[in-house]
Structure 1
Amino acid sequence: MTLPISPPIKPMLAKLARSIPESDGVLYEPKWDGFRCIVFRDGDHIQLTSRNQKPFNRYFPELLPVLADALPDRCVADGEIVVAHAEGRGLDFDALQQRIHPAESRVRMLAEQTPSEFVAFDLLALGDDDLMATPFRERRALLERELIPNASVHLTPATTDATIAERWFTRFEGAGLDGLMVKPLDGVYTPDKRSLVKVKHERTAECAVAGFRVHKDGEGVGSLLLGLYGPDGDGVDRLHHVGVCAAFTATFRRELVDELGPLTVDALDGHPWRGWAEAQADATQRMPGGFSRWNVDKDLSFVPLRVERVVEVTFGQLEGGRFRHGVKFQRWRPDRTPESCRYEQLDVASPVRFDELLAESG
């Protein structure tokens, strides 16, 4: 490639805020629930790179021709790869995750069954011009002028009106809006620096604790396995694995070992996930064990606990019955029984079509 910016580069990042800042000098955009992707195009050569500078081309081959139709002949664009839900219920992050698969035959099949789309939100280079030192208002204007949207490539909606941004934040969460991005119009592009602001949804839930994973350094508890009760497909009430909470301090990891140690005694007797603990979990199943799709060497086996403790956590989204993003430990809830931890407690957004957000805010 003979572009003014050579791949790979690290994307610009954001720091978290819990309220929408109001300012005359910012642009508000949806925060999409997908895979961050920087696209390098030099004529017929298109290279897709992930947030961690890993190549994406082999996983999303269907994007290459539609990006060629939409993007300028020589450019570098920043955006998000998403998959729209087959039933029109916003974005489907689970289906997007399934696209990262080592088998080429499955990649081809999924490219047809769950085709991906690209939402563009920044232009880092155009022709021979490196735009990273150009103010964002000018980069956005160039993106609006140069991008030719199609059925699979979109220009992200944007507004300078905080009232409209607030409406997006509350109304369109069910379409896959993960929150809001707040970008200074005079800002330059700063790779790998948290120069932007992201405002994300946060809710609380009380969950049963059914096990834990040892921290990767072998010292203390790395994460707690969370469960909620609810009917299974056969109508039987079961404890469903809904995710984990982690990111503990080193001191708290060690404290959790003492806190949870007594619950490991006879933990498998009547444990609702006994089969998962005793068998090698299949990587395609939503089980506590198994292997990470991103790192096949990562051991995800777990230590079962007697299901007697309840923890209150914060979470951002619920998708496919599981927590997505930012699950954080808040406190133990000795006043709650595990059986009382049910899906019905959750206040989650109603589904909204992905294209409805694009149409209303575009």
Structure 2
Amino acid sequence: MSPATKGSLAEYKRKRDFLRTPEPAGATPRRAKRQLAFVVQKHAATRLHFDFRIELDGVLKSWAVTRGPSDNPRDKRLAVQVEDHPLEYGGFEGTIPKGAYGGGTVMLWDVGHWEPVGDPHEGLAKGSLRMRIHGSRMQGEWSLVRMKKDGRSARENWLLIKHRDEFAKDEESLVLSFTTSVKTARDLDEITANARPKSARAKTTAKAKTSPTPRARRAPADRRATPGHGKRLPAFVDPQLATLVDDMPQDDGWLFETKFDGYRCLAAVAGERVKMYTRNGNDWTRRFDQLVAPLAQLTKGSALIDGEVCVLDDKGRTDFTRLKQGLAAEAPLVFFAFDLLSLDGVDLRKRPLLERKERLATLLGSLPDDGAIRSSSHDLENGQRVLDALCAKGFEGVIAKRADAPYRGGRSRAWLKVKCERRQEFVIGGWSPSTRRDSFASLLVGTWLGDTLQYRGRVGTGFDREEARALARKLSARARQTTPFADVPPNIARGARWVRPDLVAEVQFTEFTPDGYMRHPSYLGLRGDKPAREVVDEKPQPSTGPVLSAATGVEAAARRKVRLTSPERVVYPEQGVTKAMLVAYYDAIAERMLPYIVDRPLALLRCPQGRAKQCFFQKHDTGGFPAAMKTVEIADNQGTVDEYFYITDVGGLIAGTQMNVLEWHLWGARRDKVERPERLIFDLDPAEGIPFADVRTAAQDIGRALKGLGLVSFPLLSGGKGIHVIAPIARRATWESAKAFSRAFAQHVTALEPDRFIATASKARREGLIYIDYLRNERGASAIAPWSCRSRAGAPVAVPVSWDELERINRADQFSLDDAVAQASEGDPWPGYLTLVQALPRFDG
């Protein structure tokens, strides 16, 4: 190795202790070859990222790409240049020990070679490196473009950009489509579980592949996938989930399907290539490998199909226990398809359910009744009769779905589930000892309530001997000294053994006791497809909920003595929501909304012809408003006095709706002390393409940072793309001090993580970042009110949620009008907000 190469690896070697880490030390000389190496490694360090590396001058020039490469030319992915790595690092896959530099699992995500377009040294020096990549997954022309330094970070920030060529896509698909190692076909969890610090592990893996078992010969189709060959595999999307209710909906417009007892699965098909995702996006193609071949025969194009993988008993019923056993014993699997989300690259999720089902039926054609791929039938009439018939035959229950509804990821009331008997998931937190050495007497299980695991009872039946032994081994490997539960009865805790609470069991039972414990529980099996942290109590809700009918709205307006004109005017054309129905919404939601909006100066978004037509903001009274819309005189920053709107009761909400108000925006102060703000708000606005999961994590980080300064905060789903983090403060601070604090805080957060956040409003500089908008904390600025509708497709609502509930939210616009009313009926998501007194802390960054 040349002295120049050694010198370029000095920083790499300085950061690592090679007695601890299995990473290569960089002692292998460069091999003579013509092609320049290219590699991308998926790295689950403190924050998951992708390391992009290209060979030049005998080393791997390296960049950390926060969100991974995108084959959509519109996506400009932040790439932070890091230290050079040795060439042999391009073959490294394994786990770096916790506590070591870069601790975490490293996956070989892509390998190949690259060609510079032009002089690469000149390109690096000038900050514009153009290249052709020949990888297994990344292909075609790409560029690395250096960003201007802003003085906040010593690191050089670049953008990784795909050129528009035959390999470019209109939607990002690389990172979502490929989740396993290009070398060993393992996911991160499998690499972590098997990793050893010796390279012999890779040799053992390679040796095992030369003599496959009969099961291994049916290679999962994602390993056969070749980018650029045929259609691109559709990417994973968040599945739509059903809300548990206690009875069947009685109104029209529903269809009814069998509730299957299996694993929810999204099947991505592109010709002969197939990938099968669990509800959480895990790639289970290998587990469901016997379904790959029949799925690959469905179309020469591409499709994303929603369905359930099941095993049938001798009476044709789906049986989860047999499914668990069948995955090990290779019992025949059946995929019941019930929805079509995309077809030949066309996204169908905005189309009505019945239309999607018609297209699914055409795609599936005339499949045999006893085949591996089957169409899930549905009934358009009398859901109660369907439920009674299925329960009598021993099925699990019924799913009721709005026939005209679009497909929306996350849980909503457009899909309802009614069960024949109670069953749900529980987290295993311990076990009671048995007289048998290799087993247990019962499992101790619970559900999460916030940050505490609540004990829900013992499960001692439903196991066979082999299953109990296997489960006992899993429990022994998770042993811990202390209980994970918040409250276990002393007689149960005495002699119990505790475990790390990361296993999820499905349990059938009759009911909960008044103390919250299960009656007559029976074990059904482990759920490897559901994260333990998401397991909470499933509480059946009324199936109907408050009805947002036009008649209800007209009646509410009359009751509040507001004259409602054109009640039939359509406000949200996609949903058919009229002005009268919107009045019904505000009448239903008023108890929750009014405490946050009354007596605050308002800015109104008015849409006289509905949300799809021209809308405009209005702050001042120009006459013609009903008396329930009141005004207060406030001088602006230049001293000009104007009349601002405010309301005092539900009549004001209805009066505003009569005047075609679709969005209610409020000041951060009340009219009696307009110079004293009562809250701080940090509006997290993600750039195009940033997934909501990143925004959710960002809000949680902002909330924790504020808590560290002594400020309790609350999250508000904006109803658009972002989240508002709101901290109430005592009405003693000035607008100047509130803005100064929020600016210093936002700039401090941005300086700590410039690859995630930006605090300047420049659209040009926000690519790939989350904008922390602190400017809403200045006098005269406004922000969307909690529970206000938004003038957007889908009739979304800005809904306040708890920090615990935020963990389970998949979109900032997840709640429609009906969903919001149902959410409001479950209790106050912000307990303590209105009575919390917090002084504005000192903070200078």
1:244–1:327 Cα contact (<8 Å) kept: no
Structure 2 residue 359 is matched with structure 1 residue 142:
yes
Could you say which residue in structure 2 is the equivalent of 1:97? 324
Could you say which residue in structure 1 is the equivalent of 2:410? 192
Secondary structure, in 3 states, of the residue corresponding to 2:468? Answer: coil
What is the deviation of 1:330?
2.1
Secondary structure, in 3 states, of the residue corresponding to 2:297? Answer: helix
Structure 2 residue 244 is matched with structure 1 residue 16:
yes
Instruction: Please say which structure displays the higher CA radius of gyration.
Output: 2
Pair 191,329 (structure 1): closer, same or farther in 2 beyond 3 Å: same
2:255 to 27, 33, 36: 27
C-alpha distance in 2 between matches for 1:124 and 1:33: 22
Could you say which residue in structure 2 is the equivalent of 1:104? none
C-alpha distance in 1 between matches for 2:236 and 2:262: 19
Secondary structure, in 3 states, of the residue corresponding to 1:246? Answer: strand
Secondary structure, in 3 states, of the residue corresponding to 2:264? Answer: strand
C-alpha distance in 2 between matches for 1:37 and 1:173: 24
Query: TM-score if structure 1 supplies the norm length?
Result: 0.58
Could you say which residue in structure 2 is the equivalent of 1:159? 379
C-alpha distance in 1 between matches for 2:448 and 2:513: 11
Could you say which residue in structure 2 is the equivalent of 1:331? 514
Could you say which residue in structure 2 is the equivalent of 1:62? 290
Query: TM-score if structure 2 supplies the norm length?
Result: 0.27
C-alpha distance in 1 between matches for 2:357 and 2:336: 13
What is the deviation of 1:70?
4.0
Deviation string for 1:304-361 (max 9, x for gaps)? 9868xxxxxxxxxxxxxx973577642359xxxxxxx989xx9xxxxxxxxxxxxxxx
The one-letter code of the counterpart of 1:147 is L
2:266–2:276 Cα contact (<8 Å) kept: yes
My pick for the range that moved more, 34-43 or 243-252, is 243-252
What is the deviation of 1:69?
3.2
1:74–1:127 Cα contact (<8 Å) kept: yes
Pair 68,326 (structure 1): closer, same or farther in 2 beyond 3 Å: farther
* Number of residue pairs matched by the alignment: 261
What is the deviation of 1:138?
0.7
The list of structure 1 runs, each at least 4 consecutive aligned residues, that deviate by more than 4 angstroms after superposition, is 1-5, 222-225, 248-254, 296-307, 325-328
Deviation string for 1:103-159 (max 9, x for gaps)? xxxx5xx22xx1100100000011131101111111011112221323121111101
Please show how residues 82-121 of structure 1 align to structure 2 within 5 Å. Answer: 82-85=310-313, 87-88=314-315, 90-99=317-326, 107=328, 110-111=329-330, 114-121=331-338
C-alpha distance in 2 between matches for 1:300 and 1:66: 45
Identical positions, percent: 23
1:123–1:143 Cα contact (<8 Å) kept: yes
2:310–2:334 Cα contact (<8 Å) kept: yes
Structure 2 residue 255 is matched with structure 1 residue 37:
no
C-alpha distance in 2 between matches for 1:161 and 1:246: 38
Q: What 5-or-longer segments of structure 1 have no aligned partner?
A: 101-106, 205-212, 217-221, 226-238, 261-271, 274-281, 308-321, 334-340, 347-362
Could you say which residue in structure 2 is the equivalent of 1:284? 467
Structure 2 residue 406 is matched with structure 1 residue 179:
no
Pair 161,301 (structure 1): closer, same or farther in 2 beyond 3 Å: farther
1:289–1:300 Cα contact (<8 Å) kept: no
Pair 249,27 (structure 1): closer, same or farther in 2 beyond 3 Å: same
Pair 245,136 (structure 1): closer, same or farther in 2 beyond 3 Å: same
2:268–2:274 Cα contact (<8 Å) kept: yes
Pair 299,152 (structure 1): closer, same or farther in 2 beyond 3 Å: farther
C-alpha distance in 1 between matches for 2:377 and 2:444: 32
C-alpha distance in 2 between matches for 1:92 and 1:286: 21
Could you say which residue in structure 2 is the equivalent of 1:312? none
C-alpha distance in 2 between matches for 1:138 and 1:300: 52
Secondary structure, in 3 states, of the residue corresponding to 1:183? Answer: strand
Structure 2 residue 421 is matched with structure 1 residue 202:
yes
1:12–1:192 Cα contact (<8 Å) kept: yes
2:237–2:409 Cα contact (<8 Å) kept: yes
C-alpha distance in 2 between matches for 1:84 and 1:73: 30
C-alpha distance in 1 between matches for 2:298 and 2:324: 25
The one-letter code of the counterpart of 2:321 is D
2:241–2:411 Cα contact (<8 Å) kept: yes
Pair 171,193 (structure 1): closer, same or farther in 2 beyond 3 Å: closer
The one-letter code of the counterpart of 2:399 is M
Secondary structure, in 3 states, of the residue corresponding to 2:410? Answer: coil
Secondary structure, in 3 states, of the residue corresponding to 1:120? Answer: strand
Pair 14,332 (structure 1): closer, same or farther in 2 beyond 3 Å: closer
Pair 192,252 (structure 1): closer, same or farther in 2 beyond 3 Å: closer
Deviation string for 1:151-177 (max 9, x for gaps)? 121111101112xx3233223237563
C-alpha distance in 1 between matches for 2:348 and 2:520: 50
The one-letter code of the counterpart of 1:90 is R
The one-letter code of the counterpart of 1:50 is T
Pair 19,298 (structure 1): closer, same or farther in 2 beyond 3 Å: farther
The one-letter code of the counterpart of 1:291 is K
Pair 285,145 (structure 1): closer, same or farther in 2 beyond 3 Å: same
Pair 188,323 (structure 1): closer, same or farther in 2 beyond 3 Å: closer
The one-letter code of the counterpart of 1:92 is D
Pair 176,157 (structure 1): closer, same or farther in 2 beyond 3 Å: farther
The one-letter code of the counterpart of 2:307 is G
Pair 127,176 (structure 1): closer, same or farther in 2 beyond 3 Å: farther
C-alpha distance in 2 between matches for 1:5 and 1:13: 23
1:247 to 447, 453, 458: 447
1:10–1:191 Cα contact (<8 Å) kept: yes
What is the deviation of 1:297?
6.3
Pair 224,43 (structure 1): closer, same or farther in 2 beyond 3 Å: same
C-alpha distance in 2 between matches for 1:342 and 1:120: 33
C-alpha distance in 1 between matches for 2:422 and 2:295: 36
1:223–1:247 Cα contact (<8 Å) kept: no
C-alpha distance in 2 between matches for 1:24 and 1:38: 29
1:119–1:155 Cα contact (<8 Å) kept: yes
Could you say which residue in structure 1 is the equivalent of 2:386? 168
Pair 299,70 (structure 1): closer, same or farther in 2 beyond 3 Å: farther
C-alpha distance in 1 between matches for 2:481 and 2:406: 44
The one-letter code of the counterpart of 1:154 is R
Could you say which residue in structure 1 is the equivalent of 2:599? none
Root-mean-square deviation (Å): 4.6
Deviation string for 1:27-66 (max 9, x for gaps)? 1111111100001101110111111111121112111122
The one-letter code of the counterpart of 2:317 is G
2:243–2:411 Cα contact (<8 Å) kept: no
What is the deviation of 1:300?
9.4
Pair 8,28 (structure 1): closer, same or farther in 2 beyond 3 Å: same
My pick for the range that moved more, 59-68 or 45-54, is 59-68
